[in-house]
């Protein structure tokens, strides 16, 4: 019986974190190519969820349930990919965190979850992250994207400080900097010399993919 990859997409769209486990296992047992399971099944599902969210058709929770189902599915498929010595196409690596002086992490967590679901390799540094720690991690992990989150108007200036430090240390050209937070807008991004921002987590993923093209 051919493996029904459409069904896997649908389970991601429905955010069915239980059924997706057995469905992915069955697909593997049926001999489906694990990369195909991801590409034509799970990833297609999360893309559809993202599109629906972008059009305002579903709630944020449904988007995140989709991301969770994706995550659960990937946890099962990843060992199989390694076993078969195959490699998933890497979308990119991301280092993300909430800047120092700010402990708001709701938005940052959502963005991180969605980046992961779409296949980015995400390192989350948490909240109240000192500027030096961002720089150290950049040097260590050499990510494609640095995500700086700051909710408050009093802390968004930290995003500027970090970018200035990047310039001073010659790291600015090595990474794309995305900033986020309620007070951030296009003008601010230009003003501080960041590469981009997005209005919501879904747009952040789209923006990141654009930046890495």
Partner 1 sequence: MRPVLEFFSSDEIYEIHQTSLEILERVGMKFESPEAQQILKNAGVEVDLKGVARFHSDLVEEYIKMAPRSVVLRGRDPKKDVYLRNDRVAFAAGTGMYVIDGNKARKATYQDCCNWAKLTDAVKNVDFTCEIHSTDMPSELTDRYNFKAMAMNTTKPFVGSALSRDGVLDEIEMAAAIVGGKEELRKRPIWWAGYAAISPLIWSENACTVFKETAPYNIPAFVEGESVVGGTSAVTVASTLAQTNAEALSGIVYNQIIKKGRPCILNLGFTHPMDMKTCLALHGNVVSGIVAAGGNQLARFYGLPSAAWMATDSKVSDAQCGYEKALTGIIPALARSSLIFGMGQAEFTFAVDFEKLIIDEEIVNQMKRVIDGIEVTEETLCLEAIERVGIGGNFLTPKARDTFKFIQKETTELTIGDRNTREKWLEAGGKDIGEKAREKVNEILTTHEPEPLDKDIIKKMDEIIENAKKKVEAKK
Q: Can you tell me the distance from the alpha carbon of 150 to that of 166, in angstroms, rounded to the nearest whole number?
A: 18
Question: Using CB under 8 A, which of 65, 77, 99, 162 touches partner 1?
Answer: 65
Strands ordered across the beta sheet of 121-124: 121-124, 93-98, 145-149, 176-180, 196-197
Output the smallest distance, CB 162 to partner 1, in A. 23
Cα distance between residue 198 and residue 209, in whole Å: 12
Say if residues 63 and 46 touch (Cβ distance below 8 Å). no
Nearer to partner 1, 68 or 161 (CB): 68
Residue from 30, 36, 57, 59 in contact with partner 1 (CB under 8 A): 59
Binding track, positions 7-46, relative to partner 1; x by CB under 8 A: --------x-x-----------------------------
Nearer to partner 1, 55 or 89 (CB): 55
Binding status of residue 112 toward partner 1 by CB under 8 A: no
Count of residues engaged in binding partner 1, rule: CB under 8 A: 17
Reported residue count of the chain is 213
Cα-based angle 27, 89, 60 (whole degrees, multiple of 5): 75
- Are 177 and 148 in contact by the 8 Å Cβ rule? The answer is yes
Binding mask 163-192 for partner 1 (x = CB under 8 A): ----------------------xx------
Q: Which of residues 81-110 bind partner 1 (CB under 8 A)?
A: 105-106, 109-110
Note the Cα 167 to chain centre separation in Å: 25
Element (H, E) at 177: strand 176-180
* 111 forms part of the interface with partner 1 (CB under 8 A): no
Nearer to partner 1, 3 or 64 (CB): 64
The SS3 call for residue 111 is: helix
Q: Is 64 in the site for partner 1 (CB under 8 A)?
A: yes
Where on the chain is the footprint of partner 1 (CB under 8 A)? 15, 17, 59-62, 64-65, 68, 105-106, 109-110, 113, 185-186, 199
């Amino acid at each position: 019986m051919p493996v029904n990859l459409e069904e896997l997409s649908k389970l991601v769209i429905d955010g069915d974190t239980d059924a997706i486990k057995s469905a992915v296992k069955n697909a593997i047992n049926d001999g489906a190519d694990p990369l195909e399971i991801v590409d034509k099944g799970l990833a297609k599902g999360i893309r559809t969820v993202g599109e629906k969210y972008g059009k305002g058709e579903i709630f944020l929770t449904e988007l995140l349930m989709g991301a969770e189902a994706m995550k659960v599915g990937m946890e099962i498929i990843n060992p199989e990919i390694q076993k078969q010595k195959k490699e998933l196409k890497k979308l990119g690596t991301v280092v993300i965190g909430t800047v120092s002086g700010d402990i708001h992490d709701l938005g940052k967590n959502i963005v991180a979850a969605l980046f992961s679901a779409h296949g980015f390799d995400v390192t989350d540094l948490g909240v109240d992250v000192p500027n030096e720690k961002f720089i150290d991690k950049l040097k260590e992990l050499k990510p494609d994207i640095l995500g700086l989150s700051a909710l408050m108007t009093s802390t968004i200036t930290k995003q500027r400080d970090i970018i200035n430090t990047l310039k001073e240390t010659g790291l600015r050209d090595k990474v794309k900097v995305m900033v986020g937070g309620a007070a951030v807008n296009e003008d601010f991004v230009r003003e501080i010399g960041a590469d981009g921002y997005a209005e919501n987590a879904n747009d952040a993923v789209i923006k990141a993919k654009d930046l890495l093209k």
